[in-house]
Amino acid sequence: MTDRFNTIAGWTLAAGIVALGLSAVSSRIFHADRPERPEEMGYPIEGVVEEGAEAGPDIGTLLAAADPAAGEKVFAKCVSCHSIEQGGANGIGPNLYGVVGKPIGKFAAGFAYSSALADLGGEWSYENLDKWLANPRGFAPGTKMSFAGLSSPEDRANVIAYMHANGGGPAFPAPAAPAAAADSAAGPDGAPGAVEGAEAQDAEAAGAMSMDQPVPGENQTNPVGE
């Protein structure tokens, strides 16, 4: 009986040592204790912008084309926590009527904002609203809001236009000016070419004077000698 017990205990101890060793080896090889972001995401996560992604249109351009009616449909994702009607009650989140342009974390009376928002400072500008709707926890780490965010810039602009339609706010920012077009009349060395009708520069005039001049023939009268 004692020998059998010792055998079982020995095998159990050996199995524990093997399991511990395998765990240590796997943590070194696969970094099991330090999860890492994969180089290529298997599927997109709402509200997460991939590294290296090109910046989209500016907020002024997006708002110029925004549709409040489309924003109302997207806002349907928010009604479980927020009301937006004038005089609406606070829910899990504050009432949002007239919030555009107001101080962050201090607008809705009687609502207990998290310190992440109450201490953030600033106001709900269109730029801040866009960042907040894209990634609430990235904009205000520690916020109690659990919504992952809206990955589509057009959806965010439509929601902001809908919020503006419910309570007003500052005028929409003007769209960013397009980049200046490159001069198509560049010279052979890449410098801007001559403009039609413009006077010749000193270098061009000197070059013209250095060109061979016609020599009077034998039968031509030299006006200088008159």
Say if 6 falls within a structural domain.
no
Q: Is the pTM of this model over 0.85?
A: no
Say if 116 falls within a structural domain.
yes
Distance CA 156, CA 77 (A): 12
The residue behind tokens 């009604």 is: 79
How many CA atoms are closer than 13 Å to the CA of 163, on its beta-carbon side?
Answer: 29
Nearest Cα to Cα of residue 98 among 120, 121, 124, 62: 124
Between 121 and 184, where is the model more confident? Answer: 121
Domain with 63 in it: 59-165
pLDDT (average), residues 136-148: 91
What is the per-residue pLDDT for 12?
A: 81
What does the block give as tokens for 10?
A: 């020995």
Work out the angle at residue 26's Cα, subtended by the Cα atoms of residues 22 and 31, and round it to the nearest 5 degrees.
155
pLDDT (average), residues 96-124: 92
What is the per-residue pLDDT for 16?
A: 72
The gap between the terminal CA atoms of the chain, to the nearest Å, is 145
* 3-class DSSP state of 186: strand
Could you read off the pLDDT of 50-73 as tens digits, one per residue? 443 346 789 999 999 999 999 999
Say if 101 falls within a structural domain.
yes
What is the per-residue pLDDT for 209?
A: 45
- Indicate the pLDDT class of residue 182, thresholds 50, 70 and 90: very low
Number of domains in the chain: 1
What is the per-residue pLDDT for 86?
A: 93
Whether the per-residue pLDDT at 126 is higher than 50: the answer is yes
What is the per-residue pLDDT for 109?
A: 87
- Indicate the pLDDT class of residue 103, thresholds 50, 70 and 90: very high
Say if 19 falls within a structural domain.
no
The torsion angles phi and psi of 103, rounded to 5 degrees, stand at: -60, 140
pLDDT, averaged across the chain: 75
* 3-class DSSP state of 123: strand
CA distances from 45 to 55, 134, 177 (A): 18, 12, 32
Whether the per-residue pLDDT at 155 is higher than 70: the answer is yes
Say if 111 falls within a structural domain.
yes
Residue 99 CB neighbours (<10 A): 22
Between 38 and 86, where is the model more confident? Answer: 86
- Indicate the pLDDT class of residue 19, thresholds 50, 70 and 90: confident
What is the per-residue pLDDT for 44?
A: 44
pLDDT (average), residues 16-41: 58
Nearest Cα to Cα of residue 159 among 137, 135, 126, 136: 126
Say if 209 falls within a structural domain.
no
Choice among 16-25, 64-73, 106-115, 207-216 with the minimum mean pLDDT: 207-216
Say if 175 falls within a structural domain.
no
- Amino acid identity of 169? G
Say if 115 falls within a structural domain.
yes
Percent of the chain with pLDDT over 90: 48
CATH number at residue 113: 1.10.760.10
Between 200 and 169, where is the model more confident? Answer: 169
DSSP alpha helix (H) spans, 65-152: 68-74, 115-118, 126-134, 136-139
Long-range contacts (CB closer than 8 Å, 24 or more residues apart) made by 69-78 = 69/162, 70/158, 71/155, 71/157, 71/158, 71/159, 71/160, 71/161, 71/162, 71/163, 71/165, 72/162, 74/150, 74/155, 74/158, 74/159, 74/162, 75/159, 75/162, 75/163, 77/147, 78/147, 78/159
* 3-class DSSP state of 55: coil
pLDDT (average), residues 129-156: 93
pLDDT (average), residues 137-149: 91
